[in-house]
A and B are shown apart, each in its own frame.
Chain A
Amino acid sequence: MTKKLKAGPVLYLILLAAIIVLPVIARAEDDDISNKFFVPPPPFSPGIFPCSQCHRGMPVNKHPRKLQMHQEIADNFKHMPGGWCFDCHNPDNRDKLRLANGKLVSFKKSYILCGQCHGVVLRDWKVGLHGKRTGMWNGKKEYRLCVNCHWPHNPPFKAIKPLPPPVRPADIK
């Protein structure tokens, strides 16, 4: 009897500790990732960030509509059918992005946001397989944010002009 009574609080304590510690561990892991590799700043148009410099004090209207500003983004938007700004942007604090679970992430860690749907790509990116790497193969590697190569509002890689083909043997003088 006494043993059972003792085990109860211990178990309860362990559970409580887990509840407190686990998010801390998860957070530490998050920070580890960003410490492990260098990521360049997000490619903002000059002068556009922080967003709050214009949006502060502006009334929030969450309904899709014709915009006075940023309509060019809405026109070229081709990411999720029926998508709208607040799927990723945060209406209350514009300087942050918002995950599906309501958590906020900074623009510097936007890969967490992209990884919500593109989990396999995020995994490959973290180990160094997806995306371009520069720097040292045995040392400091330079990563790029998803948005450094993919415009987030229309992400597929754009076609580019190839460099000239080699000289044909027949054309060598």
Chain B
Amino acid sequence: MGKFTKKKDGIHLDRRSFLKGAALGVAGIALPLHKADASVWEAFFQKRFIEMNDAEKKQVLARLEREYEEKYKIAIKVGDEKAIPGVLFGYGLDLSRCIGCRRCVYACVEENNQSKDPQIQWISVLRFKKGEKWVDLENSDRYYNPELVPEEGYFTMPVQCQQCENPPCVRACPTQATWKEPDGIVVVDYNWCIGCRYCMAACPYGARHFNWAEPGRKPEELNPETHYLGNRPRYKGVVEKCTFCIQRTRKGLYPACVEACPVGARKFGNLLDPNSEIRYAIEHKRVFRLKEDLNTNPKFYYFFAYGT
């Protein structure tokens, strides 16, 4: 019998020769790669970050630092600080003080290495008219641009990832590339994300953002202090989100947005520490969480310091 026969309806290829050919083909693809770079193989067979042991993590971080240095020509440190035991991060935002100046939005972009062109911002500041039905997020204005803020008759409400205790995005991910860390931060493994954007559809807060193109940012504008699960440079076709500045907060620092806010409307701390600022706000002020009815259990608390 011949390996393949030509019939009226096309070429007939038996199974054995197809498999042989396929194996040869794969080997053929592999040949130049073997010569080019071992790191491509390493990246291909990399595990999920959450499944790696310390030695594997070290190897991966070293490889990433090498890749970034080659790509951006500057040294970028990729860290893997672990969650601090006994810490559950919580965030407070004082709506009676926010003036909508967007300082937080741009401080976040500087800190977390988002793409500037195309533009990705993790914080959206929504403007509402006072006295109207305002939790109607769909009809809020993100594009307000007056001479000065605050404006008479309006108030503003920044929205970012609410770091849900029951995150719908995590359940939607088909590859388990996103998960909730022990300190409550929902993170993305950019090397496991396949870019299906199911998590974006699942998120009720519009907090996840997609890299439709290669992230556009000048290398000299990159923040070289990064975390694997946080602000390290991203790839085209992956989803990213606010991580409470994981690279800062796991070292004890405040998130960049907290330090940027000129009116001190942003509060951050450990929900398990009864003496923390955030616990004081929850216990003494009027507090609500966004879309609480969805049972997402956010750890982002909006409060009003005025008018208790």
Residues of chain A whose beta carbon lies under 8 Å from any beta carbon of chain B: 124, 127-139, 149, 157, 159-168, 172
Q: Please state if A134 and B277 are interface contacts (CB–CB under 8 Å).
A: no
Least Cβ distance of B87 to chain A in Å? Answer: 8
Give the residues from 99 to 125 in chain B that come closer than 8 angstroms, CB to CB, to chain A. 99-103, 105-106, 118-119, 121, 124
Contacting residue for B106 out of A127, A133, A163, CB 8 A? A163
13 contacts between A and B (CB under 8 A): A128-B277, A129-B94, A130-B305, A132-B261, A132-B262, A132-B263, A132-B264, A138-B252, A159-B150, A162-B148, A162-B149, A165-B145, A166-B105
Given contacts A129-B305, A135-B254, A160-B262, contact A166 B280 (CB under 8 A): no
Q: Which residues of B sit under 8 angstroms from A162, Cβ to Cβ?
A: 100-102, 144-146, 148-149
Q: Which residues of B sit under 8 angstroms from A127, Cβ to Cβ?
A: 277, 280
Q: Please state if B119 and A163 are interface contacts (CB–CB under 8 Å).
A: no
Please report the total number of B residues contacting A with Cβ < 8 Å: 45
Least Cβ distance of B141 to chain A in Å? Answer: 9
Q: Which residues of B sit under 8 angstroms from A134, Cβ to Cβ?
A: 254, 258-259
Least Cβ distance of A142 to chain B in Å? Answer: 9
Q: Please state if B252 and A139 are interface contacts (CB–CB under 8 Å).
A: yes
Nearest chain-B residue to A167 (Cβ)? B119
Residues of chain B whose beta carbon lies under 8 Å from any beta carbon of chain A: 84, 87, 94, 99-103, 105-106, 118-119, 121, 124, 142-150, 249, 252-254, 258-259, 261-264, 267-270, 273, 276-277, 280-281, 284-285, 305
Least Cβ distance of A151 to chain B in Å? Answer: 14
Q: Which residues of A sit under 8 angstroms from B147, Cβ to Cβ?
A: 161
Docked Cα-Cα span, A123 to B241, in Å, equals 35
Docked Cα-Cα span, A15 to B38, in Å, equals 83
Docked Cα-Cα span, A138 to B250, in Å, equals 10
Least Cβ distance of A39 to chain B in Å? Answer: 14
